[in-house]
Amino acid sequence: MAVQRVDAPTAMNLSVAFKALGDPVRLQLMSMIASAEGGEICVCDLTPAFEVSSSTISHHLKTLREAGLVDAERRASWVYYRPRPALMRQLSTLLSPDA
């Protein structure tokens, strides 16, 4: 029950994603992105929701991007972030009791 066996290389890979979610700001960013109306959200809507500087938000978004959890697309002056469900589903399955 719960959590399938994971070998060392797999643990190495997946831990990057978990680590990315292991910061309060990033977890909240992820939740805002994943629950966004229309499947995406503008950075300009993310930044004002936090107390930290916009450069810090950018830095966190980069971490989520490099972890494979989100995708970014520039349109005009704005950048929109979108969730990447594949990896999220993989993490979810790993933690689910029936796995």
Which residues lie near a second copy (CB under 8 A)?
A: 1-8, 11-12, 14-16, 18-28, 30-35, 39, 83, 85, 88-89, 91-97
Q: How far apart are CA 92 and CA 57, in angstroms?
A: 25
**Which residues does residue 83 pair with via DSSP β-bridges, in sequence order?**
70
User: Cβ 95 to DNA, closest distance in Å?
Assistant: 18
Chain-centre distance of CA 71, in angstroms?
9
- The C-alpha torsion from 81 through 85 and 91 to 93, rounded to 10°, is 160
Q: Is 2 in the site for DNA (CB under 7 A)?
A: no
Q: How far apart are CA 60 and CA 68, in angstroms?
A: 13
Q: Interface with DNA by CB under 7 A: which range of 1-9, 31-39, 42-50, 85-93?
A: 42-50
Binding DNA by CB under 7 A: which of 36, 47, 84, 91?
Answer: 47
Give residues in contact with DNA (CB under 7 A). Answer: 19, 22-23, 25-26, 42-44, 47, 51-63, 72, 74, 76-79
